């Protein structure tokens, strides 16, 4: 006897359809699993056998059961196929009968515990999206993953506590629990982040961060130890626009695949803030592994990647950031194939000037290459806070993050209108063609930029990035056109690292 069920394998952020074929022949009562499964897949036979026996299900010891995970040339990893295998074994054994319609329109995902209960698995959200792509009607998942799967409309989600529930629901003996998708209702206030009003002084740094938040630009803060660079970076998150529903689902997908999505948080509604230590390896930053998974730059997607002590990072680690900073995605190639993860993040970096660092200024500049600095839109020197500012009462005459965020949101709305017919949403995403068409410069602006190119030795990339920053400054000012003051301010942030 032969039966077929549907499951899904995670490949990058996508899910590939897996047909779980279960067949039986007269034999010695063994279970064989084929189809290029890893050790966790091969161990499924023991979990499934014990779970079925613990649940009171018996299958003939005179049958040899073969489970084939097709396509056979795609590697399968993890225990997510346990549920489909168990149901297939019960069907070929004659213990359970499921209709053809149920089998053809349902996907099954779940790890079995030895007592037959279903445990949390990763990658449920991408699998549910794939269900809609392949025209399936429903998906059966562990109850703890139910809210995550319910994020995708148009797919019936059946959350189950154990294999008994799955069989009872699919045979009509029991009604599935109702489950509602969590709403995306981000708040502009967040008790875990620093408010701009609590930072003494540093007005020029706050201005640079406001510009970065409005246009999605990268920032480098260079200043003496204790001048407030880390505090400013933590406050930056509070002036970023909240995630949209689409962005929340995109970020949640990444965390689901990376197994970093807490069961009690089915939807991520806050922009990620990833702080990376200078001892981190290149693989941990860009992603990888035997089965490629997302790294820090993908976990920071639609949020902030904060690199503290930038000058202490090995040069080869910093160089891996160049491609994702430009392309906003990262492709990881391994012997098993290539996967691409999104990496649309805002990089905020901090470093001490060379005079405060171990080693020579030349060594630091060798670590932070010119091509990497080219991709940083705003460089700002952070001076020690004057004593009179430190003594000033907190929030005295200082703008709060909420006030700054209002200007950022207004600037983002202007960009949304400008790019309404384009597949981009912020100024940083503009290419040369969009800059030429949407950022015209008058004679005075052109002359100022030409002088800056000669004096500062700006590259073509720096030239275009300066125009994009000027466009963001104009958006914050509510100006339709870029004028000389906007270009002049943008050029102020195109400076060398303070020695």
Q: Give the global pTM.
A: 0.89
Same domain as 330, residue 203: yes
Evaluate whether residue 176 is within a structural domain: no
Evaluate whether residue 185 is within a structural domain: no
The pLDDT of residue 90? 94
Q: How many domains does the chain have?
A: 2
Same domain as 139, residue 237: no
Same domain as 202, residue 107: no
d(CA 214, CA 174): 52
Instruction: Please identify which residue in the block is written with the tokens 């010891």.
Output: 61
What CATH number does the domain containing 387 carry?
A: 3.40.50.300
Name 408's bridge partners: none
Are β-strands 138-142 and 156-160 bridged in parallel, bridged antiparallel, or unpaired? parallel
The pLDDT of residue 113? 97
Same domain as 325, residue 455: yes
Evaluate whether residue 181 is within a structural domain: no
Evaluate whether residue 270 is within a structural domain: yes
The closest of 262, 264, 306 to 285, measured between CA atoms, is: 306
Same domain as 247, residue 132: no
The domain in which residue 249 lies consists of 196-492
Instruction: Please check whether residue 478 is in contact with residue 436, taking contact to mean a CB–CB distance below 8 angstroms.
Output: no
Evaluate whether residue 97 is within a structural domain: yes
Evaluate whether residue 182 is within a structural domain: no
- Tell me the average confidence (pLDDT) per consecutive run of 10 residues in the chain, 499 residues long: 94 94 90 94 94 85 91 93 96 91 96 96 96 96 94 94 94 85 52 80 92 97 90 94 93 94 84 93 86 92 95 90 92 80 96 70 73 93 82 73 96 96 95 95 94 91 96 96 96 75
The closest of 226, 220, 233, 194 to 383, measured between CA atoms, is: 226
Same domain as 85, residue 135: yes
What CATH number does the domain containing 160 carry?
A: 3.30.230.10
Which of 170, 205, 226 represents a domain boundary (last residue)?
170
The pLDDT of residue 499? 52
Instruction: Please check whether residue 430 is in contact with residue 438, taking contact to mean a CB–CB distance below 8 angstroms.
Output: yes
Same domain as 383, residue 417: yes
Evaluate whether residue 207 is within a structural domain: yes
Instruction: Please identify which residue in the block is written with the tokens 């020690």.
Output: 384
Same domain as 128, residue 10: yes
Same domain as 216, residue 146: no
Evaluate whether residue 186 is within a structural domain: no
Same domain as 244, residue 309: yes
Same domain as 200, residue 130: no
Instruction: Please identify which residue in the block is written with the tokens 């499921």.
Output: 98
Same domain as 23, residue 125: yes
């Amino acid at each position: 006897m032969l039966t077929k069920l549907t499951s899904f394998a995670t490949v990058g952020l996508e899910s590939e359809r897996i047909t779980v074929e279960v067949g039986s022949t007269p034999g010695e009562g063994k279970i064989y699993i084929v189809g290029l499964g890893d050790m966790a897949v091969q161990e499924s036979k023991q979990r499934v056998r014990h779970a079925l026996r613990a649940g009171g299900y018996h299958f003939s010891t005179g049958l040899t059961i073969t489970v084939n995970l097709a396509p056979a040339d795609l590697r399968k990893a993890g225990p997510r196929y346990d549920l489909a295998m168990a149901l297939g074994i019960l069907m070929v054994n004659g213990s359970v009968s499921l209709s053809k319609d149920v089998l053809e329109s349902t996907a099954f995902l779940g790890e079995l515990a030895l007592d037959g209960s279903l445990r949390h698995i990763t990658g449920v959200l991408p699998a549910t999206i794939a269900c809609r792509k392949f025209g399936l009607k429903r998906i059966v998942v562990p109850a703890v993953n139910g809210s995550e799967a319910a994020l995708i409309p148009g797919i019936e989600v059946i959350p189950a506590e154990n294999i008994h529930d799955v069989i009872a629901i699919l045979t009509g003996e029991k009604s599935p629990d109702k489950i509602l998708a969590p709403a995306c209702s981000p708040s502009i206030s967040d008790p875990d982040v620093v408010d701009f009003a609590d930072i003494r002084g540093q007005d020029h740094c706050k201005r640079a961060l406001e510009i970065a938040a409005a246009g999605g630009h990268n920032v480098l803060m260079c200043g003496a130890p204790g001048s407030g660079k880390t505090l400013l970076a933590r406050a930056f998150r509070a002036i970023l626009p909240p995630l949209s529903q689409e962005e929340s689902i995109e970020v949640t997908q990444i965390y689901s695949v990376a197994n970093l999505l807490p069961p009690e948080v089915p939807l991520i509604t806050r922009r990620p803030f990833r702080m990376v230590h200078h001892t981190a390896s290149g693989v941990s930053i860009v992603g990888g592994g035997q089965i490629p998974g997302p790294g820090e730059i993908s976990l920071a997607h639609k949020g902030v990647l904060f690199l503290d002590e930038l000058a202490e990072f090995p040069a080869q680690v910093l160089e891996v950031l160049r491609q994702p900073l430009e392309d906003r995605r990262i492709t990881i190639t391994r012997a098993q194939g290539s996967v691409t993860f999104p990496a649309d993040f805002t990089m905020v970096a901090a470093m001490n000037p060379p005079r405060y660092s171990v080693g020579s200024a030349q060594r630091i500049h060798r670590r932070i290459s010119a091509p990497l600095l080219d991709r940083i839109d705003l460089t700002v020197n952070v001076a020690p806070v004057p004593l009179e500012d430190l003594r000033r009462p907190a929030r005295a005459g200082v703008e709060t993050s909420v006030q700054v965020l209002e200007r950022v949101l207004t600037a983002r709305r202007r960009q949304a209108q400008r790019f309404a017919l384009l597949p981009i949403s912020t100024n940083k995403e503009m290419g040369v063609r969009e800059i030429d068409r949407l950022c015209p410069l008058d004679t005075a602006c052109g002359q100022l930029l030409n002088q800056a190119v000669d004096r500062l030795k700006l590259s073509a990339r720096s030239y275009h990035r300066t125009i994009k920053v000027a466009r963001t400054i104009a958006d914050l000012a509510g100006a339709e056109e870029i004028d000389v003051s906007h270009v002049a301010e943008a050029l102020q942030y195109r400076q060398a690292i303070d020695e």
